[in-house]
Structure 1
Amino acid sequence: MTTAPASTMRSLDRAFDVLGVLDDGRQPLRLSEVARRADLHVATAQRILNVLVERGYAAKEGAGYVAGPAALATAHAFLVNNRLSQVALPVLQELAATTSLTASLYVRVALARVLIARVQGRNPLRYQLPIGEKLPLHLGAGKALAAWLPEAELDTLIERTTPFTRISGQQVTADDLAADLRRIKQDGYALSLSERALNVTAVSAPIHRDDHVLGALSITGASGELTEDDHARLIGEVRRAADAIAARCP
């Protein structure tokens, strides 16, 4: 079997680094900023961007660059063909109806999570979260994925994200996050109170198939509408729903 030259693989890695920078950009990024964030020489970043623009994965907007429309077509192909989101949708609908809360499905991408399905509850959240949104692993529902990371990746996540401050104002050290994730792995669920969004409560659980974590299921609602007495019931509902999704996956 022919193995691709190391230089070819390195070029591919760099192209994905640039794509990742564009994915995370909330506004058009100048060439120099793309190069800085991707840790590339400006000339190298320019050559990669030229190819991405030609293929539609990047677009020139004013003096900067943004992700291109081809990325949307790739995302659509994932949603159409992804078995997890297909089998999860009726479970999400039932969970949202049963709890009146918004039910969401996330998968891990490197050290982040991406929303791939969502069903609004009777009382929708005040903020909008579109399909494809990339969110952190160390906050909210992300912890239901982070707790099961391989040790090396877990150490990297903790090193890169700590110390940080939750939206509630609570400061979190590396030891705090490590202890929180150990507790989540032991309990089998994550309960988050005003971590990423103020006055929002989230209950999340991993979707396991054997030793593999396929994704995380979460329900979210306004903290003012939920009491501590509600938590145990919601935890049970989410864990049962996560197990139901896992049982339907091939």
Structure 2
Amino acid sequence: MATTPSSAMRSLDRAFDVLGVLEDTRQPLRLSEVARRAELHVATAQRILNVLIERGYAAKEETGYVAGPAAVATAHAFLVNNRLSQVALPVLQELAATTSLTASLYVRVGHFRVLIARVQGRNPLRYQLPIGEKLPLYLGAGKALAAWLPDAELHSLIEQSAPFTRVSGEHVTAEDLAADLDQVRKAGYALSLSERAVNVTAVSAPIRHAEDVLGALSIAGPSSELTETDHTRLIGEVCRAADAIAARCP
């Protein structure tokens, strides 16, 4: 029996659902857990995993399934060909040198942000985020992307994310998040204090080209070493750098 276009698309969607499960995990998953997280029948998940393993996008270890090495090649192809990261790199380097803080570039993928470039300053953060790390949109630099979402997507993000508690212990309701993102949009930048990591202050700004938000530029450093006067200076540096990147994009 021939595969209809609709069933082919459904199969593709399911394959991406399984890939997304493997992408988000930090440890090998048993087949039953992959099926549960992807909301698929176990037999369907097994068939998809078999194809992904054959193509190198999944691998089976002794304790379960993980993402495969082909995903690295796909990521490399993106980084090599992505115009934004190429244009942004010298600006990131200059920003890190000027502020002594870690400068990062993020792009949005659904309701997440993905790190695609990073330059360490003279005062590096204690933790190191690997390129490709996926982080939420409703915390830290993610807000510089979330604030410019179309209304329907913004509502969906808020509905799915809130309520939540920041690492600082601050409880955030849906109303709080909506007000926070509205303020970010009005100000043109996001200032985050211990939202995702303790004792970390981050300043981020959207990279806007015409009507599009191409990504978010962020700098981060220890809160204990940054005063309110520093915040004002850093906001100016980040916004100017974000505008410089946008101006260089075709």
User: Structure 1-normalised TM-score?
Assistant: 0.98
Tell me the residue number matched to 2:59.
59
In the alignment, structure 1 residue 219 sits paired with structure 2 residue 223: no
Tell me the residue number matched to 2:178.
178
Runs of 4+ in 1 over 2 A off after TM superposition: none
Paired residues, what number? 247
Tell me the residue number matched to 2:128.
128
Q: In structure 2, how many angstroms separate the alpha carbons of the residues matched to 1:217 and 1:40?
A: 37
**Aligned residues with identical type, % of pairs:** 83
Tell me the residue number matched to 1:238.
238
Paired residue secondary structure (1:96): helix
Q: In structure 2, how many angstroms separate the alpha carbons of the residues matched to 1:178 and 1:62?
A: 44
Tell me the residue number matched to 1:18.
18
User: Structure 2-normalised TM-score?
Assistant: 0.98
Q: In structure 2, how many angstroms separate the alpha carbons of the residues matched to 1:158 and 1:22?
A: 25
Deviations, residues 148-172 of structure 1 (Å, cap 9, x unaligned): 1111111111111111000000000
Paired residue secondary structure (1:192): strand
Tell me the residue number matched to 1:229.
229
Tell me the residue number matched to 1:49.
49
1:225 positional shift: 0.7
Unaligned runs of 5+ in 2: none
Paired residue secondary structure (2:106): strand
Q: In structure 2, how many angstroms separate the alpha carbons of the residues matched to 1:152 and 1:67?
A: 32
Tell me the residue number matched to 1:36.
36
1:62 positional shift: 1.1
Deviations, residues 181-231 of structure 1 (Å, cap 9, x unaligned): 000001000000000000000000000000100000000000011001111
Paired residue secondary structure (1:12): helix
1:63 positional shift: 3.0
Name the aligned partner's letter for residue 42 of structure 1: V
Tell me the residue number matched to 2:207.
207
Tell me the residue number matched to 2:72.
72
Unaligned runs of 5+ in 1: none
Q: In structure 1, how many angstroms separate the alpha carbons of the residues matched to 2:237 and 2:167?
A: 26
Deviations, residues 72-113 of structure 1 (Å, cap 9, x unaligned): 000000000000000000000000000010000000001000
Q: In structure 2, how many angstroms separate the alpha carbons of the residues matched to 1:51 and 1:236?
A: 50
In the alignment, structure 1 residue 112 sits paired with structure 2 residue 112: yes
